[in-house]
Amino acid sequence: MAEILSFPWNTLQRLQAASNSVVVNARSMGREEALTVIVGELAAGKVPPDEEAMERRFRTLSANRAVKYQTRKQIEAEAADLNRIEPVLHDLSDELAVQELTSLASSQLTLEDWQLLQDIGNGEPYIELALESRKSVGTLKSKVSRLRSRIRNSTVGRTILEAVKQSHGDQRKWVSLRRRLTPPRDFDQMSKAV
């Protein structure tokens, strides 16, 4: 005949039987950890006042621990995605797409104007560039604004914007840009003409 246990051991036995699972997931691991905490509390003399309080404590601990395990699993998955090695071909296609766009955009400006935009894009302070060109900072800022506007409003700029919108970030679709536009001017020929 089975021995009848008294509180709190009968409640603990019932919770343990209900927690047995053939599947290991966040919920089952949370239940196991909740049982471990409750056994530790009982061993330390922290006995709940009644069965209902003990079951409520178990449910709360189980839910909290399950969330902890779910969060850990998500973090591990995200870390695995971040640490995944991308194929070299993907990196090269991004690089080629940026070079393609740069070539197309630069074809709309003189070499001197393109160099000015590159210097600004590389973080050169306006004041240093203004001193080098012997212009005021305001004049230089106005010129940069006009140059950017010229590129945006050009056929190339509108085509680049259209391609970016259509690609939704997929640079592979940008490859067709060169076929749709005239090739960029050669900078060596431009510098000889200036």
Residue whose pair of structure tokens reads 């005949």 in the numeric block? 1
Same domain for 105 and 188?
Answer: yes
| Res 97 pLDDT > 80 | no
Same domain for 61 and 95?
Answer: no
Taking only the tens place, the pLDDT of each residue in 25-53 is: 999 999 999 999 999 999 999 989 999 99
Taking only the tens place, the pLDDT of each residue in 76-86 is: 888 877 666 55
Which domain, by its residues, includes 67? 9-83
pLDDT band at 179 (very low <50, low <70, confident <90, very high): very low
- The rounded distance, in Å, linking the Cα atoms of 140 and 122 is 16
| Res 185 pLDDT > 80 | no
Same domain for 92 and 52?
Answer: no
pLDDT higher at 105 or 16: 16
